[in-house]
Amino acid sequence: MKIKVDRLSSFAETINGGNPAGIVLNADNFDEKKMKLIAKNIGYSETAFVSNSNKADFKIRFFTPKEEVNLCGHATIAAFSLLIKEKIISQGKYTQETKDGILEIECNKNSEIFMNQNLPNFQEKLNQELITNALNIDKNELLEDIPIEIVSTGLNDLMIPIKSLEALNQITPNMKKIENICNQNNIASFHLFCIPKNEFHASSRNFAPHLGIPEESATGTASGALGCYLIKHKIYEANKQLLFQQGLSMNKPSKIKVIIEKTTTINAVKVGGKAIYLDSIYM
pLDDT of residue 30: 97
143: amino acid identity, one letter: L
Give per-residue pLDDT as tens, 14-26.
Answer: 889 999 999 999 9
Cα-based angle 213, 222, 185 (whole degrees, multiple of 5): 70
Neighbours of 198 (CB within 10 A): 10
- Do strands 92-98 and 58-63 pair parallel, antiparallel, or not at all (unpaired)? parallel
Q: Which tens digits make up the pLDDT trace of 89-135?
A: 999 999 999 999 999 999 998 889 999 999 999 998 889 999 999 99
Q: What is the pLDDT of residue 124?
A: 81
For the chain, domains (ranges, CATH) are 4-115+274-282 (3.10.310.10), 121-273 (3.10.310.10)
- Nearest one of 121, 131, 203, 199 to 155, comparing CA atoms: 121
Decide: helix, strand or coil at residue 30.
coil
Please give the positions annotated as active site.
Answer: 46
For residue 248, pLDDT over 90 is answered with: yes
Give the model confidence (pLDDT) of 252-267 as tens digits: 999 999 999 999 999 9
| pTM, 2 dp | 0.93
- Average pLDDT rounded to a whole number, residues 182-192: 97
User: DSSP assignment of 91-148, as one string?
Assistant: SEEEEEEETTEEEEEEE-TTS-EEEEEPPPEEEEEPPHHHHHHHHT--GGGBPTTS--
Burial of 217 (0-12, 13-18, 19+ CB in 10 A): buried
Can you tell me the distance from the alpha carbon of 5 to that of 7, in angstroms, rounded to the nearest whole number? Answer: 6
Q: For the packed helices 175-185 and 128-135, what is the interaxial angle rounded to 10 degrees? A: 140
Give the whole-angstrom CA distance, residue 149 versus residue 152: 10
Mean pLDDT computed over every residue of the chain: 96
Q: Kindly report, residue by residue over 58-97, the tens digit of the pLDDT.
A: 999 999 999 999 999 999 999 999 999 999 999 999 999 9
